Structure 1
Amino acid sequence: MSWISDHLLALNGTLVLIAVFLLPALESSVFLGFVIPGESAVVIGGLTAYNHTNPLWLVLVAAIAGAIVGDSIGYAVGSRWGDALLNRIPHKLLKPAHIRQSKDLIARLGGRAVFAGRFAAALRALVPGLCGVSDMRYRTFAVWNMLGGAVWATAFTLIGYYAGASWHKVESYANTASWILVGVIAVGVGGLLYLKRRSEKRAAARFEGDGDGESEVESPEQQPTLGEHAAG
């Protein structure tokens, strides 16, 4: 994607801001994250802030807005046409394995999948639409979408800003770092869910044990009276 980055750098400041908004919006709105370089555009936006072509705050606003708007459109598209659209995309562009990974992520993490999926391009393109397909509540989706979009856009804008002249090297590592981060998040959340379920099972076992102990105690009606002892 370096040729796209080079073309973006040749644009004036206003057009770069438009690209910083538009490319992140397109990559997750219609399952195009595998061909639309949203991360590259945001990194380049940070670089233009470093070069004083654009104000840093304006690049951040454009990147965050593009990320959030794009995911929201992706959710709506998935809710309306998700399965039919996915079936029409050639497997060379969209691997079935990526669809399975996204569905597994949603099944394990719920709304947190929106945040985790934001940090890997293939998942970023699919997770919003698959959340719509799976009928996730939009309120839940929106909260995690805003959080994930803000963190992702801020992180990659600042990467471009602080990388400065070394942005090419940073850009080449960005996708790998994204997948590593997704793995760390998934493992961490999976571990927390496992500990929570284990704790719930222990609590249920203790409750059942207490219930069995109480059932062995005779009620006052079942205990023999003093008269019955005497009669015996």
Structure 2
Amino acid sequence: MTTPPHLSSQLAVNVLDAHSLLAAFGVLGVGVVMFAETGLLIGFFLPGDSLLFTAGLLCAGTADRGLKLSLAPLLVAAAVGALAGSQCGYLLGRKAGGALLTRSRSARLHEGAQRAEELLERYGHAKAIVLARFVPVVRTVLNPMAGALGVPARTFTVWQVTGGLVWSIGLTLAGYALGSSITGIDKYLLPVIALIVLVSLLPLVTEVLRSRKAAKEARG
């Protein structure tokens, strides 16, 4: 029995490759990946930043293989997935405490949990929740960590929504803007995505440097 072409492409999808995910599942795939990466610990390896940016780029209609997405449904799917995922992660952490992390054997996941806890302690709840959105793995584990550590639900919700909208919509629109303004930008997709990921880390780097400067002045 021959497998239909569209089904065959979905079965062969590479979950680590943004273009492969989008080709197989389109806008719906973006929402599901955003939910899994921000709400489920097993989703820490998924390509959140690159997926958002690549999806935005494909909305501009400049990418290869004729793959094109619609911007409005994409923005909705990205935002809903990111916000619902974070809230789900928080509720799981609040219910199960640290048991979820304890069961995992992933060194990368535990390192991310440590960084998430440090963020919460160093910058306070609001700033840490927003900054974590821009750091891969940390944005996955901070949500259950916030629940396990007793961050107030209202505080978490307000700031995860703020950070989630800036991150999901901002990266998507950045891809769309670049794709609309530069013809053939998809040929340089990998270096552009690397640049976008670096830029997305700037808020965290800026905050770390400012914090160190303040601590140095306090000691002086």
TM-score class normalised by the smaller sequence: 0.7 to 0.9
Q: Unaligned stretches of 5+ in structure 2? A: 1-13, 63-67, 180-185
CA–CA distance in 1 between the matches of 2:138 and 2:193?
18
CA–CA distance in 1 between the matches of 2:100 and 2:61?
41
Aligned to 2:113: 99
Question: Secondary structure at 1:32's aligned position in 2?
Answer: helix
Give, in angstroms, the shift of residue 185 of structure 1: 2.9
Q: Report the CA distance shift for 1:127/1:135 in structure 2 as closer, same or farther (over 3 A).
A: same
Aligned to 1:23: 33
Asked whether the equivalents of residues 35 and 81 of structure 2 are also in contact (C-alpha less than 8 Å), the reply is: yes
Q: Deviations over 1:134-155 (max 9, x none)?
A: 1111110011011101100122
Q: Deviations over 1:49-100 (max 9, x none)?
A: 1118333222111111111111000101111123111011113442x33222
Bigger drift between 85-94 and 143-152 goes to 85-94
Aligned to 2:98: 83
Aligned to 2:200: 178
Large movers: runs of 4+ above 4 Å: 191-194
Give, in angstroms, the shift of residue 41 of structure 1: 2.1
CA-atom RMSD, angstroms? Answer: 2.5
CA–CA distance in 1 between the matches of 2:112 and 2:59?
34
Aligned to 1:224: none
CA–CA distance in 1 between the matches of 2:173 and 2:203?
17
| Mapping for residues 161-172 of structure 1, pairs under 5 Å | 161-164=176-179, 165=186, 166-172=188-194
Asked whether the equivalents of residues 42 and 157 of structure 1 are also in contact (C-alpha less than 8 Å), the reply is: yes
CA–CA distance in 2 between the matches of 1:29 and 1:3?
17
Question: Secondary structure at 1:121's aligned position in 2?
Answer: coil
Aligned to 1:47: 57
Q: Unaligned stretches of 5+ in structure 1? A: 199-232
Look up the equivalent residue of 1:7 and give its one-letter code: S
Look up the equivalent residue of 2:111 and give its one-letter code: A
**TM-score, with length taken from structure 1:** 0.73
Larger radius of gyration: 1
Look up the equivalent residue of 1:31 and give its one-letter code: L
1:138 aligns with 2:156: no
Give, in angstroms, the shift of residue 132 of structure 1: 0.2
| Mapping for residues 1-232 of structure 1, pairs under 5 Å | 4-11=17-24, 15-51=25-61, 53-94=68-109, 96-109=110-123, 110-164=125-179, 165=186, 166-188=188-210, 190=211
Bigger drift between 155-164 and 98-107 goes to 155-164
Look up the equivalent residue of 1:101 and give its one-letter code: R
Give, in angstroms, the shift of residue 192 of structure 1: 10
Asked whether the equivalents of residues 22 and 29 of structure 2 are also in contact (C-alpha less than 8 Å), the reply is: no
Asked whether the equivalents of residues 8 and 44 of structure 1 are also in contact (C-alpha less than 8 Å), the reply is: no
CA–CA distance in 2 between the matches of 1:17 and 1:76?
26
Look up the equivalent residue of 2:58 and give its one-letter code: T
CA–CA distance in 2 between the matches of 1:62 and 1:76?
21
**TM-score, with length taken from structure 2:** 0.76
Asked whether the equivalents of residues 116 and 186 of structure 1 are also in contact (C-alpha less than 8 Å), the reply is: no
CA–CA distance in 2 between the matches of 1:74 and 1:187?
29
Question: Secondary structure at 2:17's aligned position in 1?
Answer: helix
CA–CA distance in 2 between the matches of 1:186 and 1:44?
28
CA–CA distance in 2 between the matches of 1:192 and 1:153?
30
CA–CA distance in 2 between the matches of 1:193 and 1:77?
35
